[in-house]
Amino acid sequence: MATVRMQFDHEEEEEEFPGRPENNRGTDWIYALELGNFISKDEKDDYRDISSRANWTLSSCKVDGDGFGINELLSDNVDSYWQSDGPQPHTITVEFPRKTDISFLAIFLDYKSDESYTPNKLLVRLGSSVMHLDDEFEQSFNEPVGWQIMDLRRGSHAKRAFVLQLQVVQNHQNGRDTHIRHMRVIGPSRSRFDSVARALVTPLIDPMDFAGDENGDPVNGNRPPMDAPIMPLLTKKLRSMKVIR
């Protein structure tokens, strides 16, 4: 089990990035990655928020008032938050429809406002399904305020998984329920596997597949679109190749 310990103090960011609304912090995770030395300034465009690609499930949530569920967890307003309402451990399960590159998990916590509702220890597990979560990442906090970053990479490579599950193991002051004000799943802007596959398949593509007329329109009805998934195309081409014995 890999243990990662890091605290990003949001107050250190105020002088660096002034002029933003105080409660609009949902997109600030990119600055936390940079100021926490997880990425360089030149790598900002190499990562993106992939949270909206997945289905989210909470173990429980408070249902009265204005809402304390997934919408609040994924909103940009730090005044809203997820609040659990059930027995521990509290969990957030994020399920992707396809195997996905995952680099970081960004979580916004505020001990000054939430006190005993603030997580003290978190466990993140990754795997192929909810029943098969093999990789584990643990992180502890001491009165955190601001974005907390969990680096889920192995070396410089993202982890590939269908499912990410966050488990609140313990709260400060032994609190029962928990508050998390933002949560974002961060992945690379381009999959390294897609790049490798495209490099492999390029020599296999018939130039006629991409021939065009004087207007640039394709003359071959079998021409694959340039944004088509590359792996099915590669598989088709490889199957059509003759094996030389």
The pLDDT of residue 3: 34
- The number of beta carbons lying within 10 Å of the beta carbon of residue 84 is 24
For 45-107, give the DSSP string.
Answer: GGEEE-GGGSEEEES----STT--SHHHHHSSBTT--EE--SSSSEEEEEEEEEEEEE-EEEE
Q: State yes or no: pLDDT of 152 exceeds 80.
A: yes
The whole-number average pLDDT for the span 67-82 is 92
Q: What band does 27 get if pLDDT is binned at 50, 70 and 90?
A: confident
Nearest in space to 136 (alpha carbons), one of 157, 167, 158:
167
Fold of 2-189: Jelly Rolls (2.60.120)
- DSSP lists the bridge partners of residue 123 as 138, 167
Q: What band does 240 get if pLDDT is binned at 50, 70 and 90?
A: low
Q: What band does 25 get if pLDDT is binned at 50, 70 and 90?
A: confident
Q: How far is CA 51 from CA 65, 95, 101, 186, in A?
A: 25, 10, 12, 7
Q: State yes or no: pLDDT of 201 exceeds 80.
A: no
The whole-number average pLDDT for the span 60-68 is 86
Q: State yes or no: pLDDT of 194 exceeds 80.
A: no
The pLDDT of residue 23: 77
Nearest in space to 58 (alpha carbons), one of 179, 147, 173:
179
* 55-58-62 Cα angle (round to 5): 135
Residue-averaged pLDDT of the chain: 80
The pLDDT of residue 67: 82
Exposed / middle / buried, residue 64 (Cβ in 10 Å: 0-12, 13-18, 19+): exposed
Ranges of each domain in the chain: 2-189, 194-240
Reported as a single tens digit per residue, the pLDDT across 75-114 is 999 999 999 998 889 999 999 999 999 999 999 999 999 9
